[in-house]
């Protein structure tokens, strides 16, 4: 999420009907360069995304395919918001809010995707490694997942970048329990609340608060809060990735993680780079303030970044690997983990939902046998 520069709140920038003709008349060469490159990148991004979605349409129907669709939408949103912001500096703040909302939405979807993959692999682990347990009862999703994670060596799960590497020497190797998994989920999903809410408050303050000093202080506080929320979300994803890498190795989680976070990290740092690069550049006549120039280049970079993101996502989330994950549900797993945490059993002797399913299966089987006898 690039920063939005807004120093003159009394002038949000020219409208597209004024900005585009002015730029064309003042700088025709630069105008054609930026908008031609932007148009070509936007077309290529749309083509890559369409091909990816078309292949997903023929994949097996289920939650995994639905999550792949949601993640594949992010590059077109980036290229659309960036292109519209290039055409109209006046709408840049509104478009940035949309961009941040979709970024938070995509990261939350990635967390849900990892959850259903963990459910699936946890159940398979118990089925193959502990078949004796299935004779008496079927373990719950939460219990199966914790047993699967406990099948690997203890490690320092929280000693990962960007925060954990600072206190690695104080961490001890351990297995993840239900409380840890719930905390990781909250670390990731808090960004879906903090980021959109913070951007909306910034927009409201820009339009409603008359004192410039008050607005700029509030803007700095909220911008820092959003950055911290983004880094915290990244920390939660890093914990989830390193802690489950061995269990989910066949799903290529490394490429899935990189496809999202590399571009988003670059996107988060680019604003400072652009601001330093344009520090001594003379503001063209088509831009009324330096802030508009910085926002224009940020939007152009956002358009350029959408194409490699679309390519990475199409390769990291292929339709060929969509499998039958029937019965998995992120909400169900979280409920089971909360029950495990509340009971203090941490995965031992839990029978939430999956036992009820087993009992219902037994009743259905008995009913079918009676009908056949009749």
Higher per-residue pLDDT: 325 or 63: 63
Q: What is the helix (H) or strand (E) element at residue 214, kind and residue range? A: helix 212-244
Structure tokens at 369: 């046998």
Q: With respect to residue 102, please indicate whether it lies within any of the assigned structural domains.
A: yes
Question: Band of the pLDDT at 91, cuts 50, 70, 90?
Answer: confident
> Which residues, at least 6 apart from 357, have a Cβ–Cβ distance to it below 8 Å?
138
Q: With respect to residue 3, please indicate whether it lies within any of the assigned structural domains.
A: no
Q: How far is CA 209 from CA 92, 192, 205, 302, in A?
A: 19, 26, 5, 29
Question: Band of the pLDDT at 373, cuts 50, 70, 90?
Answer: low
For the cut 80, the answer to whether the pLDDT of residue 363 exceeds it is no
The count of C-alpha atoms lying within 13 angstroms of the C-alpha of 277, restricted to the half-sphere facing its C-beta, is 11
Q: With respect to residue 52, please indicate whether it lies within any of the assigned structural domains.
A: yes
Structure tokens at 209: 């608060």
Report the C-alpha gap between 184 and 178 in whole angstroms: 10
DSSP classification of residue 353: S
State which of 12-26, 115-129, 147-161, 272-286 shows the largest mean pLDDT: 147-161
Supply the range of the domain harboring residue 316: 16-373
CA distance from start to end of the chain? 66
Q: What is the pLDDT of residues 164-205, one digit of tens each?
A: 877 878 888 999 999 999 999 999 999 999 999 998 998 888
Can you tell me the mean pLDDT for 1-13?
Answer: 56
Q: With respect to residue 5, please indicate whether it lies within any of the assigned structural domains.
A: no
Question: Band of the pLDDT at 33, cuts 50, 70, 90?
Answer: very high
Report the C-alpha gap between 306 and 49 in whole angstroms: 10
For the cut 60, the answer to whether the pLDDT of residue 347 exceeds it is no
Instruction: Look at residue 355 in the predicted model and tell me its pLDDT.
Output: 38
Give 155's strand partners: 174
> Which residues, at least 6 apart from 208, have a Cβ–Cβ distance to it below 8 Å?
none
Q: With respect to residue 11, please indicate whether it lies within any of the assigned structural domains.
A: no
Angle between helices 28-57 and 74-87 (to 10 degrees): 160
Among the ranges given (129-133, 236-240, 243-247, 305-309), the one the predictor scored with the smallest mean pLDDT: 129-133
What's the mean per-residue pLDDT of the chain? 83
Angle between helices 212-244 and 92-129 (to 10 degrees): 20
**How many domains are contained in the chain?**
1
Report the C-alpha gap between 38 and 27 in whole angstroms: 16
Give 342's strand partners: none
Burial 327-351 (b: 16+ CB within 10 A, else e): bbbbebbbbbbbbbbeeebbbeebb
pTM of the model: 0.84
Instruction: Look at residue 113 in the predicted model and tell me its pLDDT.
Output: 94
Q: Which long-range contacts (CB under 8 A, 24 or more apart) does 330-336 make?
A: 330/111, 330/112, 330/115, 330/116, 332/141, 333/115, 333/118, 333/119, 333/141, 333/142, 333/145, 334/115, 334/182, 334/185, 336/140, 336/141, 336/142, 336/143
Q: With respect to residue 308, please indicate whether it lies within any of the assigned structural domains.
A: yes
Can you tell me the mean pLDDT for 244-266?
Answer: 88
Q: With respect to residue 91, please indicate whether it lies within any of the assigned structural domains.
A: yes
Instruction: Look at residue 180 in the predicted model and tell me its pLDDT.
Output: 92
Instruction: Look at residue 356 in the predicted model and tell me its pLDDT.
Output: 41
């Amino acid at each position: 999420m690039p920063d939005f520069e807004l120093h003159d709140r009394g002038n949000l920038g020219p409208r597209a009907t004024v900005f585009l003709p002015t730029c064309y008349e003042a700088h025709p060469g630069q105008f054609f360069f930026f908008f031609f490159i932007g148009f070509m990148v936007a077309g290529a991004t749309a083509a890559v995304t369409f091909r990816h979605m078309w292949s997903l349409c023929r994949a097996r129907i289920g939650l995994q395919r639905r999550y792949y669709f949601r993640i594949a939408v992010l590059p077109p949103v980036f290229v659309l918001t960036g292109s519209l912001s290039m055409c109209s500096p006046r709408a840049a703040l509104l478009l940035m809010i949309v961009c941040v909302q979709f970024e938070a939405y995509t990261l939350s979807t990635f967390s849900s995707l990892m959850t259903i993959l963990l459910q699936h692999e946890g159940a398979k682990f118990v089925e193959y490694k502990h078949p004796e347990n299935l004779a008496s009862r079927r373990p719950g999703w939460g219990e199966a997942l914790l047993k699967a994670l406990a099948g690997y060596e203890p490690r320092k799960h929280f000693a990962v970048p960007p925060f954990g590497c600072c206190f690695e020497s104080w961490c001890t190797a351990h297995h993840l329990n239900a409380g840890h998994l719930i905390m990781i989920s909250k670390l990731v999903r808090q960004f879906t609340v903090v980021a959109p809410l913070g951007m909306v408050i910034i927009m409201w303050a820009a339009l409603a608060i008359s004192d410039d000093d008050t607005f700029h202080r509030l803007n700095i506080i909220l911008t820092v809060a959003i950055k911290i929320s983004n880094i915290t979300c990244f920390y939660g994803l890093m914990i989830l990735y390193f802690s489950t890498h061995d269990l989910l190795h066949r799903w290529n989680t490394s490429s899935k993680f990189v496809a999202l976070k590399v571009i988003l990290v670059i996107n988060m740092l680019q604003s400072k780079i652009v601001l330093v690069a344009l520090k001594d550049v003379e503001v063209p006549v088509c831009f009324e303030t330096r802030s508009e120039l910085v926002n224009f280049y940020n939007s152009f970079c956002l358009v350029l970044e959408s194409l490699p993101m679309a390519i990475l996502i199409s390769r990291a989330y292929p339709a060929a690997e969509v499998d039958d994950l029937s019965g998995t549900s992120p909400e169900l797993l979280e409920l089971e983990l909360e029950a495990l945490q509340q009971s203090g059993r941490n995965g031992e002797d839990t029978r939430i939902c999956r036992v009820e399913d087993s009992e219902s299966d037994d009743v259905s089987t008995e009913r079918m046998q009676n009908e056949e006898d009749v």
